[in-house]
């Protein structure tokens, strides 16, 4: 009986005492079911690589030999010195001619070394080895005739190699933990396939990559990172600490303290989210960083995806001078320094702040839409400081306000909010006319505006608290503000 399988040249070994080999093979098709030529196929842990052929086929082979092992590659035919006869294996077909009553013994094993087929052959004839197995996959065959022996591995794709030791044990190369087969092709999503064995045959289908439309302004949600010029550079900063930053504006130099925290697993080649925390009146950058954990957000960075920075404001002895035009130049110079020295995702830079710090953050939201993805302001106002002219570009904006705030009144906060709403309104909409749900009780309410561009959401959170940033619901020990802000920032 003869079955049909695609067959490739055979490699055989006779002297094999402690070697292990593997063949990972298969085909790659595109999303229309057609064979894909030229896809890059890699075994990541084994560091082996190939490309698919005309029919989308690929083969990755390897072997590890212990010192002193002897491997030979004889012709396909083997002969027994003990008796006349002839055995050959060609294209998966075993041909035999054996004189006398001595048999040709054929045994087939699966990947786990279990015997799945055994037959003794007499006289002359042919046997298709693949007919001895029921399922498609990788198998091992051992053929003996008297003192002559051939050992080989075969699969439905016809790849053969020696795989038995002298004790008739199948030699399986141990797969490294986390081994992955990766397929990369232009115009298609990268395909990662976890492997539990290195002896396998795969039929893989690529998925066409979604075409990301680049908007006229801003980015689509979940866009690919935009690496800054600092990516690939060894950081000059330690994991966390403080540095003096000096910049010059209109001929005058100023120095301020800047506190920061890098992820403990910082990778110079990975672009990170950047979040600024701006201090309040009577506070300090040190308190924002070390006391308040950047308004409570840092503990939510479980996977170390964010760089946090807190710069000092214009403060002295618990008093802060109003923000001026030069402070915006300070922000620009500081951001440029960070992006040139650290690996930052330039499309995911955010700013937050409370009171005095929220006024500056809100001021940045008026004309820094090209570098800031979103802001979160707690008890803000758009008065009492130098404010840049509004650039008519949208920005994602989140406000938290206590409706009983007597310092930065709700009206002040709403005025700042409406500027953001006007710029973020969806085409043909005026989000400033949308009435938000608000809370005048101890329990907060957050309202997400509907009439805005979904790429630039606006969120308005209220309760009846006074002038504070860490609002809490009744019976709650922890503020709801940090988690809400973190979720707002990380949606992008």
Predicted confidence at residue 159, as pLDDT, reads 47
Beta-strand runs (E) in 429-473: 445-448, 458-463
Predicted confidence at residue 105, as pLDDT, reads 81
**pLDDT tens column, 398-428:** 999 999 999 999 999 999 999 999 999 999 9
CA distance 416 to 10: 76
CA distance 274 to 283: 22
Sheet arrangement for strand 396-402: 240-249, 252-261, 306-311, 272-278, 344-354, 374-378, 396-402, 458-463, 445-448
CA distance 75 to 88: 9
Predicted confidence at residue 364, as pLDDT, reads 97
- The fold adopted by the segment(s) 1-209 is Immunoglobulin-like (2.60.40)
Q: Evaluate if residue 156 carries a pLDDT over 50.
A: no
446: CB partners within 8 A, 6+ apart: 459, 460, 461, 484
pLDDT-based confidence at residue 154 (cuts at 50, 70, 90): low
Q: How does DSSP assign 398-423, residue by residue?
A: EEEEETT-SSS-HHHHHHHHHHHHHH
Predicted confidence at residue 192, as pLDDT, reads 87
Longest dimension (CA), the chain: 109
Mean pLDDT of 47-72: 69
Predicted confidence at residue 14, as pLDDT, reads 30
Helix axes 325-341, 356-367, angle to 10 degrees: 80
**In a 3-state reduction of DSSP, which class is residue 51?**
strand
Sign of CA dihedral 200, 201, 203, 209: positive
448: CB partners within 8 A, 6+ apart: 457, 458, 459
Residue 294 token pair: 């950047």
Predicted confidence at residue 135, as pLDDT, reads 61
**pLDDT tens column, 289-330:** 999 999 999 999 999 999 999 999 877 656 677 788 889 999
Domain locations in the chain? Answer: 1-209, 240-489
Predicted confidence at residue 117, as pLDDT, reads 77
Q: Is 1-209's fold the same as 240-489's? A: no
Specify the CATH class of 240-489 in words: alpha beta
CA dihedral 165, 166, 167, 169 (to 10 degrees): 20
Q: Would you say 474 and 443 are in contact if contact means Cβ atoms under 8 Å apart?
A: yes
Higher pLDDT, 390 or 132: 390
**pLDDT tens column, 101-131:** 677 788 877 666 677 778 887 777 777 766 6
**pLDDT tens column, 17-35:** 333 467 788 899 998 889 9
Predicted confidence at residue 100, as pLDDT, reads 61
**In a 3-state reduction of DSSP, which class is residue 289?**
helix
Predicted confidence at residue 120, as pLDDT, reads 80
Work out the burial of residue 189: count CB atoms within 10 Å of its CB; fewer than 13 is exposed, 13-18 middle, 19 or more buried.
middle
Global model pTM greater than 0.85: no
């Amino acid at each position: 009986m003869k079955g049909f399988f695609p067959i490739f040249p055979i490699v055989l070994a006779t002297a094999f005492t402690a070697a292990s080999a593997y063949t990972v093979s298969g085909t790659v098709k595109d999303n229309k079911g057609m064979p894909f030529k030229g896809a890059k196929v890699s075994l990541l842990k084994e560091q082996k690589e190939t490309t698919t052929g005309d029919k989308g086929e690929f083969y990755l082979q390897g072997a590890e030999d212990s010192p002193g092992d002897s491997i030979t590659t004889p012709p396909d035919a083997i002969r027994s010195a003990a008796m006349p006869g002839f055995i050959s294996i060609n294209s998966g077909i075993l041909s035999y001619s054996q004189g006398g009553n001595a048999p040709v013994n054929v045994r087939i094993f699966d990947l786990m070394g279990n015997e799945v087929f055994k037959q003794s052959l007499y006289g002359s004839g042919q046997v298709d080895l693949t007919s001895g197995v029921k399922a498609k996959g990788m198998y091992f065959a051992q053929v003996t005739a008297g003192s002559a022996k051939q050992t080989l591995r075969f699969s439905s794709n016809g790849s053969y190699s020696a795989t038995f030791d002298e004790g008739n044990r199948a030699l399986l190369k141990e797969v490294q933990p986390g081994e992955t087969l990766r397929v990369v092709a232009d115009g298609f999503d990268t395909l990662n396939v976890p492997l539990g064995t290195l002896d396998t045959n795969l039929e893989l289908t690529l998925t066409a990559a979604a075409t990301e439309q680049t908007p006229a302004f801003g980015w689509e949600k979940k866009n690919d990172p935009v690496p800054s010029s600092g990516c690939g550079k060894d950081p000059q900063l330690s994991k966390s600490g403080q540095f003096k930053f000096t910049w010059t504006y209109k001929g005058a130099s100023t120095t301020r303290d800047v506190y920061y925290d890098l992820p403990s697993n910082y990778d110079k080649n990975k672009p990170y989210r950047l979040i600024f925390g701006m201090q309040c009146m009577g506070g300090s950058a040190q308190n924002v960083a070390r006391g308040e954990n950047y308004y409570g957000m840092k503990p939510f960075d479980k996977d170390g995806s964010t760089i946090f920075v807190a710069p000092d404001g214009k403060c002295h002895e618990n008093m802060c001078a109003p923000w001026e035009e030069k402070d915006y130049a300070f922000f620009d110079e500081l951001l440029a320094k960070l992006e040139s020295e650290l690996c930052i995702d330039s499309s995911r830079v955010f700013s937050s702040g409370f009171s005095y710090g929220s006024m500056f953050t809100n001021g940045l939201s008026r004309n820094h839409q090209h570098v800031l993805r979103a802001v979160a302001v707690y008890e803000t106002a758009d008065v009492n400081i130098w404010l840049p002219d509004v650039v008519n570009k949208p920005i994602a904006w989140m406000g938290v306000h206590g409706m009983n705030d007597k310092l930065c009144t709700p009206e002040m906060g709403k005025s700042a909010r409406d500027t953001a709403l006007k710029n973020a309104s969806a085409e043909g909409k005026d989000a400033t006319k949308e009435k938000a749900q608000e809370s005048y009780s101890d329990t907060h309410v957050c309202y997400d505006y509907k009439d805005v561009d979904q790429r630039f959401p606006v969120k308005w959170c209220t309760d009846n608290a006074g002038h504070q940033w860490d609002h809490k619901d009744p019976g709650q020990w922890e503020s709801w503000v940090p988690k809400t802000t973190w979720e707002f920032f990380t949606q992008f």
